[in-house]
Structure 1
Amino acid sequence: MKILITGATGLIGRKLTGRLLEQSHQITALSRAPERAAKLLGPQVQIWETLEGKTTLDGFDAVINLAGEPIADKRWTKEHKALLCESRWQLTEKLATLINASQTSPSVFISGSAVGYYGDQGQALVPEDEPPNKQFTWQLCARWEALAMSAQSPNTRVCLLRTGIVLAEKGGALAKIVLPFRAGLGGPIGDGQQYMPWIHIDDMVDGILFLLAHETLSGPFNMVSPYPARNEQFSALLGEVLHRPAFMRAPAPVVRLLMGESAVLVLGGQRAVPRRLEAAGFIFKHQELKETLEDLLA
């Protein structure tokens, strides 16, 4: 297949690109930093710096859209919220427009989203049809998904990746979470009862490849392990795997003071489950959190 990928130099994109190349697919990556992208992805990948001047995506069999400004790196000022939205909405809208203008459109458009679509759901079980709690993360993801779905047609199916916390050996959320634990300063956040929907990087990539290959699948998919963990459980298991104490609780008022509105990302959560992915026959390699942490941190 000839595949266009955005966000190919990110945590998921790099691993996915490598797997696709192993399967002999032809990859074109969109990157605002083409020289860096070429170094990271290798000479087999064609690099596009922009979509300007492109009128269609004729010739591509699939488009995988993983680009977006990191959501948890900064406080949610008005300006940063606008940047989070624009980095997702504008590119997704452009890709959908190019797909719709294509004479022979790509057969599948796989586009990023997040479990933040649901907002803070407390202790409720969250399959893909769960009604959202309409917070900022819902506003961000709902528009993002709607723009992607505008590319759906009899010739193009659209799959939405409602992604949880992706756990990987290097980079991503786990690298940040581990730092205080290694120093013996780790522990639960707030009351620790909030759910953390997580997924091993290998299952994340395998899940995308599964959606790419199965021509009957479309719509939203929770890209999370079948067994989300409470923050308190996650902290205890991480401390156990690292052989470090995990009792330094971060009080909720302090977290809110430091993070502002974005504190909902760590004080709230979703007990999201991958109901549609499992129903389609996908089998997770890493279902248990302790095994996953041991695999990534050994």
Structure 2
Amino acid sequence: MQRSRIAVTGSTGLIGKALVRSLRTDGHEVVRLVRHPARAGDEVEWDPQRQYVDVAGLVGCDAVVHLAGAGIGDHRWTDAYRKEIRDSRVLGTAAIADAVAGLDVPPRVLISGSAVGYYGDAGDRVLDENAPPGDGFLPKVCVEWEEAAAAAQEAGVRTVFARTGLVVAREGGAWGRMFPLFRTGLGGRLGNGRQYWSFISLHDQIAALRHIIDTPSLSGPVNLTAPEPVTNREVTAAMGRVLHRPARFAVPAPALRIALGGMAADILSSQRARPVKLLDSGFSFAFPTIDEAIRAALR
């Protein structure tokens, strides 16, 4: 990648922080979109709720990577928090897409975050990027989330929807909560453990985003998941194996539903997604198996 100017939303999140660090290490100029008046030279103000973006800050950007959105697992899913999950994604994406479309010289690519939750609970069916959306709250949000980028697509900007799986990382996300439990021997399967978890190491997630920026043939939905998804039961076994801890506990599905409310449906749903577009475009995974991804996170 030639030295580029790249704008990133969600730069304080797990993926955004790692992406900014990776890009800057390689000499790229990163512009961070922040939800307060710009205080530093690398900051650009935006407000997803008001659908406001300081468009001047995007001038000269070669790529925009839009990762912002309320955390799926940060709170119990009350009606108010469901609205926040939806609005933070849909309104924010529409604001970014409108800003990109309005530039005299738009960026070469807009990468807009999405999730394998798009596919809903698909059992053991293998899911490539052509699979239809599922039913329920998260699939509906993902559909609206992707549709909100229409302005950028209509303006001729190559637009990619990064349908990300569960990111294996020590610092945050689902795995950030799992590592302490398994280290103390309290980890175990969730529900019957037969649901597929499409995972990806944080290293491969960042490498894939950068690969997308540099690969003009990639557009539309792209699954950002390791080549071979595994079941929750297999994840549990791998965690126990790598951490050398027993993983005998199990949380029954009814208990999860009582404890987590609507969010339990996401944890218990099954997405066996494969990164067909990434693989066909020549991307190579550094940590393709669950054991390798867990060990990489621990390093």
Q: TM-score range by the shorter chain?
A: over 0.9
Alignment CA distance shift 1:245-1:142 (3 Å):
same
CA distance in 2, matches of 1:23, 1:294: 25
Is 1:21 the equivalent of 2:17?
A: no
- The equivalent residue for 1:6 is 9
SS at match of 1:73: coil
Matched letter for residue 130 of structure 2: D
1:172 CA displacement: 2.2
Give the TM-score, by structure 1 length: 0.92
Residue-by-residue CA offset, 1:186-206 (whole Å, 9 max, x unaligned): 111111000010000110000
Alpha-carbon contact 1:195-1:270 (below 8 Å) kept? yes
Moved more, 48-57 or 277-286: 48-57
Alignment CA distance shift 1:221-1:54 (3 Å):
same
Which of residues 28, 37, 43 in structure 2 aligns to 1:47?
43
1:179 CA displacement: 2.2
Alpha-carbon contact 1:99-1:151 (below 8 Å) kept? yes
Alpha-carbon contact 2:113-2:161 (below 8 Å) kept? yes
Mapping of residues 196-207 of structure 1, within 5 Å:
196-207=197-208
SS at match of 1:130: coil
- The equivalent residue for 1:264 is 265
Alpha-carbon contact 1:125-1:273 (below 8 Å) kept? yes
Alpha-carbon contact 2:112-2:161 (below 8 Å) kept? yes
Alpha-carbon contact 1:106-1:155 (below 8 Å) kept? no
Matched letter for residue 157 of structure 2: T
Moved more, 158-167 or 179-188: 179-188
SS at match of 1:220: strand
Gaps of 5+ in 1: none
1:153 CA displacement: 4.2
Mapping of residues 200-239 of structure 1, within 5 Å:
200-239=201-240
- The equivalent residue for 2:166 is 165
| Paired-residue identity, % | 38
Residue-by-residue CA offset, 1:144-190 (whole Å, 9 max, x unaligned): 10112431146410011000001113222212012221221211111
CA distance in 2, matches of 1:260, 1:172: 19
CA distance in 2, matches of 1:49, 1:150: 20
Alpha-carbon contact 1:107-1:155 (below 8 Å) kept? no
SS at match of 1:151: helix
Is 1:113 the equivalent of 2:109?
A: no
Matched letter for residue 265 of structure 1: D
CA distance in 2, matches of 1:85, 1:275: 27
Alpha-carbon contact 1:13-1:66 (below 8 Å) kept? yes
1:228 CA displacement: 0.7
Q: How many residues align?
A: 291
Residue-by-residue CA offset, 1:242-279 (whole Å, 9 max, x unaligned): 11111111011101111111111211120011011101
Alignment CA distance shift 1:53-1:252 (3 Å):
closer
- Give the root-mean-square deviation of aligned CA atoms: 1.8
- The equivalent residue for 1:30 is 33
Alignment CA distance shift 1:285-1:17 (3 Å):
same
CA distance in 1, matches of 2:151, 2:274: 26
Moved more, 245-254 or 168-177: 168-177
CA distance in 2, matches of 1:117, 1:237: 26
Alignment CA distance shift 1:285-1:149 (3 Å):
farther
Gaps of 5+ in 2: none
Matched letter for residue 261 of structure 1: G
CA distance in 2, matches of 1:219, 1:293: 29
SS at match of 2:153: coil
